[in-house]
């Protein structure tokens, strides 16, 4: 199988995520891109620093030139962050006819055009799915899935740090400073949190996605911006009273051929899908004139989710370079997977019975469930007449075969009139 050499610039949080995905999912990735990916070099500041992942020292380098000038490296993945030297390195990689993948929202929002043009001139690919929304494929969504639409508006919760803080303030009644401190402790907020809490980060991201959505270049500095530092618990309480949730919302709309662009704390109806996007999750709600309402929800940051977007971009580049039938050949020769018997399926269960109100009935049923390894989470017994009482069991997760056996035995009990309902429960963990 063909082997493709790539290099990473940077081995911080996201870089280690990319390394670990390329190793853990080696087989899936090989199937999906029809070739083997080898990280042949990684640019780091300090070769000896301790890292979560085990990377052979001989591929680490502190010299960018030995990556940018290596003709064997086909894709350069920029994960250093910051403006320079990241931008210079990407431009050099492009001039050396290498494809480039980046997660750098700051560069995209400030110098995106320059990089797009360079990539076009050199006929290489330049992908940046990870720059907005972490693992959420919002860039591909706009660029490829919604091409049939005129996009009318975007509403995004695109900063996980502030969403975590607002969730804590809203659900646990914390004030801003306490919530920020907790976010910093858990690694959701940086030591210097200004870019997040003053909404600069969200403005960069809104600039990127509104440029794509509305087909025009958007300067991040032209976006009206308000951070969340001044939000008071009392305002969050009033919001609840009026049935709103407060979110740091990035808004992009096209109105009469002009753009309305703003990022600020916003009250939104508590029944709206965006209102229930909590903790460090992100979500983007798009309205297209054909597709209607569409929402993407997922992890907006973190090593593996962001790495998922980065590696997805790498695979897209390799696919566009390769004979697609080679992928299909691998896929067609994979061993089939068996569908397991429903008796082995695992669910919680809701079981509603019609029973006679006699002293032993609950105990008899509990004993049957116990014998079959079906453990009870909760029981509810409502009023009825003595001969017809509704009795409801909620079980922990159990093997379906065991539940079916229990139900057969329960049906045979004298004091059980009928098994009225059996409904599976999924806790969706």
Please report, as residue ranges, which positions from 241 to 280 form the binding site for a second copy (by CB under 8 A). Answer: 241-242, 244, 246, 249, 251, 254-255, 257-262, 264-269, 271-274, 276-277
Q: Which of 110, 149, 184, 405 binds a second copy (CB under 8 A)?
A: 149
Segment interacting with a second copy (CB under 8 A) among 88-96, 160-168, 225-233, 357-365: 225-233
399 near a second copy (CB under 8 A)? no
Shortest spacing between CB 35 and a second copy, in angstroms: 13
Nearest Cα neighbor of 9 from 58, 52, 63 is: 63
Closest to a second copy by CB, 193 or 288: 288
Structure tokens at 322: 């390769």
CA-to-CA distance for 62 and 65, rounded, in angstroms? 9
Shortest spacing between CB 192 and a second copy, in angstroms: 26
> What order of strands is seen across the sheet that includes strand 36-43?
60-61, 36-43, 3-9, 73-78, 99-102, 126-127
396 close to 348: Cβ distance less than 8 angstroms = yes
CA-to-CA distance for 42 and 149, rounded, in angstroms? 40
16 near a second copy (CB under 8 A)? no
Closest to a second copy by CB, 129 or 196: 129
Q: What are phi and psi of 194, to 5 degrees?
A: -55, -45
CA-to-CA distance for 33 and 323, rounded, in angstroms? 10
- Mark whether 205 is an active-site residue: yes
Closest to a second copy by CB, 267 or 366: 267
Segment interacting with a second copy (CB under 8 A) among 67-75, 82-90, 387-395, 405-413: 387-395
Instruction: State the catalytic residue, choosing from 87, 105, 205, 247.
Output: 205
Closest to a second copy by CB, 191 or 428: 428
CA-to-CA distance for 150 and 392, rounded, in angstroms? 50
Segment interacting with a second copy (CB under 8 A) among 43-51, 70-78, 177-185, 221-229: 221-229
Shortest spacing between CB 84 and a second copy, in angstroms: 26
Q: Which of 337, 359, 383, 386 binds a second copy (CB under 8 A)?
A: 337
Q: Which of 62, 69, 177, 328 binds a second copy (CB under 8 A)?
A: 328
Please report, as residue ranges, which positions from 61 to 80 form the binding site for a second copy (by CB under 8 A). Answer: none
Closest to a second copy by CB, 132 or 218: 218
Shortest spacing between CB 145 and a second copy, in angstroms: 4
- Angle subtended at Cα 221 by Cα 219 and Cα 223, rounded to the nearest 5 degrees: 85
Structure tokens at 129: 């799915």
371 near a second copy (CB under 8 A)? no
Residue 124 pairs in a beta bridge with none
Q: Which of 6, 7, 29, 174 binds a second copy (CB under 8 A)?
A: 29
Closest to a second copy by CB, 83 or 116: 116
Q: Provide the 10 A C-beta neighbour count for residue 305.
A: 21
Total of chain residues touching a second copy, rule CB under 8 A:
123
Please report, as residue ranges, which positions from 94 to 133 form the binding site for a second copy (by CB under 8 A). Answer: 116, 120, 129
Q: What end-to-end distance do the CA atoms of the chain give, in Å?
A: 37
Peptide bond just before 85 cis, omega within 30 deg: yes
Q: What are phi and psi of 57, to 5 degrees?
A: -60, -30
CA-to-CA distance for 129 and 145, rounded, in angstroms? 14
- Angle subtended at Cα 129 by Cα 104 and Cα 21, rounded to the nearest 5 degrees: 95
CA-to-CA distance for 381 and 30, rounded, in angstroms? 55
Instruction: State the catalytic residues.
Output: 205
């Amino acid at each position: 199988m063909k082997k493709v050499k790539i290099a990473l610039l940077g081995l911080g949080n996201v870089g280690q995520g990319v390394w670990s995905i390329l190793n853990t999912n080696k087989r899936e990735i090989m199937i999906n891109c029809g070739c083997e990916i080898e990280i042949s070099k990684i640019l780091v500041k300090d070769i000896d620093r301790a890292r979560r992942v085990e990377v052979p020292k001989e591929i680490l380098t502190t010299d960018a030139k030995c990556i940018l000038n290596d003709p064997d490296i086909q894709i350069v993945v920029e994960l250093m962050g910051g403006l320079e030297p990241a931008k210079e390195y990407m431009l050099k990689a492009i001039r050396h006819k290498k494809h480039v993948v980046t997660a750098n929202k700051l560069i995209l929002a400030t110098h995106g055009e320059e990089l797009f043009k360079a990539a076009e001139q050199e006929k290489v690919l330049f992908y940046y799915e990870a720059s907005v929304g972490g693992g959420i494929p919002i860039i591909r969504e706009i660029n490829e899935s919604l091409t049939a639409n005129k996009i009318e508006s975007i509403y995004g919760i695109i900063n996980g740090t502030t969403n975590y803080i607002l969730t804590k303030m809203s659900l646990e009644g914390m004030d801003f400073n306490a919530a920020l401190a907790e976010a910093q402790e858990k690694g959701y907020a940086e030591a210097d949190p200004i870019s997040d809490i003053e909404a600069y980060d969200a403005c960069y991201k809104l600039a990127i996605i509104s440029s794509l959505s509305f087909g025009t270049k958007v300067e991040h500095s032209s976006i009206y911006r308000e951070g969340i530092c001044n939000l008071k618990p009392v305002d969050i309480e009033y919001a609840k009273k009026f049935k709103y949730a407060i979110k740091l919302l990035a808004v992009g709309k096209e109105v009469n051929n002009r753009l309305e662009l703003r990022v600020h704390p916003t009250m939104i109806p508590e029944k709206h899908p965006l209102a229930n996007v909590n903790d460090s999750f992100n979500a983007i709600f798009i309205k297209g004139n054909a597709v209607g309402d569409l929402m993407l929800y997922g992890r907006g940051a973190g090593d593996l989710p962001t790495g998922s977007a980065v590696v997805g971009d790498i695979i897209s580049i390799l696919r566009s370079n390769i004979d697609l039938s080679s992928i299909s050949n691998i896929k067609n020769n994979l061993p089939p997977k068996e569908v397991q018997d429903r008796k082995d399926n695992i669910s919680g269960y809701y079981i509603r019975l019609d029973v006679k109100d006699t002293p032993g009935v609950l105990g008899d049923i509990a004993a049957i469930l116990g014998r079959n390894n079906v453990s009870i989470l909760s029981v509810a017994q409502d009023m009825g007449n003595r001969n017809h009482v509704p009795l409801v069991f909620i079980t922990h997760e159990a093997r379906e075969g065991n539940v079916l056996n229990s139900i057969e035995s329960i049906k045979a009990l004298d004091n059980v009139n009928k098994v009225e309902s059996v409904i599976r429960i999924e806790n969706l963990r």
